[in-house]
């Protein structure tokens, strides 16, 4: 059918072009009679129904015209011995065919697209162009628990699911029912999909996966149809795991917005019906994954018997994840993964994998043969903070300001007390910044004390204080520092209860895993007081930084000079310069 449709389209297009390619000159009736009288007309063709005339001049060119009296024109032409032909009236069937044929071709082409698969690739599962799947390949994943790291507690819970698949009778004896659904919640990149694949791989059961957005179709009812087909296939391949990634795309709470969405609600209703339609002992477990559990429909949440939290890994978990991915590369003897783990707080497993891969690429480009300690840290800095812009042209005044700015951060971090140690400081631009000071926390901080946050505020203000005292200037350089300081101070006042004037209350509420502030509800008077408290904290931090810089000016100048000479200093080089420079 595809070949027929294509051939018809080609013929119609060719015919249209062939018709339009002939140049036909339009003339009026007076010009036509004058040409007949002069003998320049070679032949005429008259259509009595439309009173249109076409013909050919003696030079071979074509013309067309229209006249009021066809018989008079015919007599004038015959008088000059000009051949005249009369066009027969067209068949009414031809008009009907010309009207119906394009519509029929269009309908046939659309039906063909609906039925035609996109191809045999692994990603489409035999879907057609609207994503309405036909055949879904049954898969048993190869991933194992050895590929999952950084979430030992969640893995322990997952092993119970595998035990159910292997020995369901053990649970049936005591009347235990296997869970019908499990909800994996956590920030993006924490390995929710990998864990689910590992569960299926360890149990050796079929694995069906589909993103929640794939159920939201163009036409109402198609999403519900896809849900039915997915579960029909699952029931034919028991035991199995059905994994719905980003389930919040289809499972958002009904009535949460003023806009209705019949297709999504029908799909959600069908999903609820399917999960309720089988018992826990049938060998089907539905696993959903989301990073926004707070927006899910309560009825959907009730269907999930278990909720497994997958938070960002701690320092031990990050090191384990790095070791899993490092199995595929060659590390030098000085490559310390534990140090990289400490330098990457709040990093997901996905980012850690990218760091290892980027380190391998850096080692290959530099022909190192193995991944060195420097390769790992350079990769981490690139993934977390952006690409170094070594070739950016900067005038001497900007370089001097950048050197004193970063030296100011370093000196304040060294002497404020309670701040994290400095790992590296550089004046090479990276991302939007003109330089950077990298800290190395000795351990993960699960509890943030007020003293630690005040120290962080002072470090943020160190660059501005150094520019003020040494260069006697204020610039746009500290803009990002002020933003970070305002964020920390706002968190102290609005979320952590660290302001005596505001009290032990929480005024800002954040998304559970995405971290964005979702609401800030208070009276105008309280909001004004909050702003005053944030300003007080940042002003006091700036005064603290100014005090340290005034006392430690010699160390500041020494660090700035070294940065201008070497561009980048390690934490060890910073300690050496400070220790060898008197106050």
pLDDT digits (tens, 9 = 90+) for 177-228: 777 788 999 888 888 889 988 988 888 888 888 888 777 765 566 778 888 8
Q: Clarify whether residues 236 and 350 are in a common domain.
A: no
Binding residues for Zn(2+), as ranges, are: 405, 409, 481
- How far is residue 552's CA from residue 547's CA, in Å, rounded to a whole number? 9
- How far is residue 71's CA from residue 104's CA, in Å, rounded to a whole number? 41
Q: Report how many domains make up the chain.
A: 4
Q: Which two tokens stand for residue 231?
A: 């579960």
267, 231 contact by CB (below 8 A): no
In this structure, is residue 126 part of a structural domain? no
181, 300 contact by CB (below 8 A): no
Final residue in a domain of this structure, among 364, 384, 404: 384
Q: Clarify whether residues 248 and 191 are in a common domain.
A: yes
Instruction: Please report, for residues 212, 262, 319, 466, the alpha-carbon distance to residue 256 in angstroms, rounded to integers and kept in the order given.
Output: 18, 14, 41, 50
Binding residues for ATP, as ranges, are: 186-193
Q: Clarify whether residues 278 and 371 are in a common domain.
A: no
Q: Clarify whether residues 305 and 319 are in a common domain.
A: no
Partnered with residue 438 across adjacent β-strands are 424
Q: Clarify whether residues 66 and 193 are in a common domain.
A: no
Split at pLDDT 50, 70, 90, the class of 117 is very low
- How far is residue 178's CA from residue 160's CA, in Å, rounded to a whole number? 9
In this structure, is residue 130 part of a structural domain? no
Binding residues, as ranges, are: 186-193, 405, 409, 481
- Residues forming the active site: 406
The pLDDT score that the predictor gives to residue 343 is 87
Q: Could you tell me the pTM of the whole model?
A: 0.67
In this structure, is residue 139 part of a structural domain? no
Three-state secondary-structure class, residue 307: strand
327, 354 contact by CB (below 8 A): no
Mean pLDDT of 259-273: 73
The pLDDT score that the predictor gives to residue 552 is 92
Please give the backbone phi and psi of residue 245, each rounded to the nearest 5 degrees, phi first.
-80, 150
Q: Any idea what the CATH number is for the domain that residue 366 is in?
A: 1.10.8.60
Q: Which range of residues forms the domain containing residue 305? A: 145-309
Residue 304 Cα to chain centre, angstroms: 27
Mean pLDDT of 228-254: 85
Model confidence pLDDT, tens digit, residues 542-576: 999 999 999 999 999 999 999 999 988 988 999 99
């Amino acid at each position: 059918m595809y070949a027929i449709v294509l051939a018809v389209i080609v013929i119609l297009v060719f015919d249209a072009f062939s018709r339009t390619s002939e140049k036909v000159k339009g003339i009026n009736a007076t010009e036509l009679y004058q040409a007949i009288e002069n003998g320049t007309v070679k032949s005429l063709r008259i259509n009595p129904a439309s009173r249109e005339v076409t013909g050919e001049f003696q030079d071979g060119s074509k013309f067309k015209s229209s006249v009021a009296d066809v018989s008079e024109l015919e007599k004038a032409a015959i008088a000059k011995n000009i051949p005249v032909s009369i066009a027969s009236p067209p068949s009414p069937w031809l008009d009907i065919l010309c009207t119906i044929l394009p519509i029929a071709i269009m309908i046939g082409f659309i039906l063909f697209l609906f039925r035609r698969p996109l191809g045999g690739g692994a990603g489409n599962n035999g879907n057609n162009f609207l994503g309405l799947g036909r055949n879904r390949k049954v898969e048993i994943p190869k991933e194992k628990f050895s590929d999952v790291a950084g979430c030992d507690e969640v893995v322990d819970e997952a092993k119970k699911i595998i035990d159910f698949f292997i020995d369901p009778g053990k649970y049936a004896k005591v009347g235990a029912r296997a869970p019908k659904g499990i909800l994996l919640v956590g920030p993006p990149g924490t390995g929710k999909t990998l864990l689910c694949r590992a569960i299926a791989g360890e149990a050796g059961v079929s694995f069906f996966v589909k993103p929640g957005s794939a159920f939201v179709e163009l036409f109402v009812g198609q999403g519900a149809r896809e849900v039915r087909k997915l579960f029909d296939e699952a029931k034919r391949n028991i035991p199995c795991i059905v994994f719905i990634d980003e389930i919040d795309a289809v499972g958002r709470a009904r009535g949460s917005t003023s806009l209705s969405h019949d297709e999504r609600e029908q799909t959600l209703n069908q999903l609820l019906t399917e999960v309720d339609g089988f018992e826990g002992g049938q060998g089907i477990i539905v696993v959903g994954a989301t990073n926004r559990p707070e927006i899910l429909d309560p009825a959907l949440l009730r269907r999930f018997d278990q909720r497994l939290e997958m938070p960002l890994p701690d320092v031990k978990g990050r090191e384990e994840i790095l070791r899993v991915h490092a199995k595929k590369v060659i590390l030098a003897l000085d490559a310390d993964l534990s140090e990289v783990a400490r330098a990457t707080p709040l990093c997901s497993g996905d980012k850690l994998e990218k760091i290892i891969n980027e380190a391998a690429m850096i080692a290959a480009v530099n022909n190192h043969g193995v991944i060195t300690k420097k390769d790992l840290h350079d990769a981490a800095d690139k993934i977390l903070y952006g690409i170094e812009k070594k070739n950016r042209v900067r005038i001497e005044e900007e370089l001097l300001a950048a050197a004193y700015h970063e030296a100011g951060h370093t000196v304040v971090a060294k002497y404020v007390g309670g701040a994290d140690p400095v790992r590296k400081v550089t004046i090479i631009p990276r991302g939007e910044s003109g330089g950077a000071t990298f800290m190395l926390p000795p351990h993960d901080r699960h509890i943030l004390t007020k003293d630690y946050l005040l120290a962080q505020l002072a470090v943020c203000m160190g660059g501005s204080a150094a520019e003020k005292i040494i260069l006697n200037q204020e610039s746009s350089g500290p803009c990002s520092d002020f933003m970070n300081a305002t964020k920390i101070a706002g968190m102290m006042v609005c979320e952590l209860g660290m302001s005596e004037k505001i009290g032990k209350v929480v005024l800002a509420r954040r998304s559970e895993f995405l971290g964005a502030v979702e609401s800030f509800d208070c009276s105008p008077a309280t909001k004004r007081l909050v702003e005053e408290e944030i300003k007080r904290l940042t002003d006091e931090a700036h005064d603290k930084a100014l005090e340290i810089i005034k006392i430690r000016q010699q160390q500041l100048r020494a660090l700035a000079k070294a940065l201008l000479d070497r561009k980048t200093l390690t934490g060890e080089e910073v300690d050496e310069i400070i220790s060898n420079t008197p106050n």
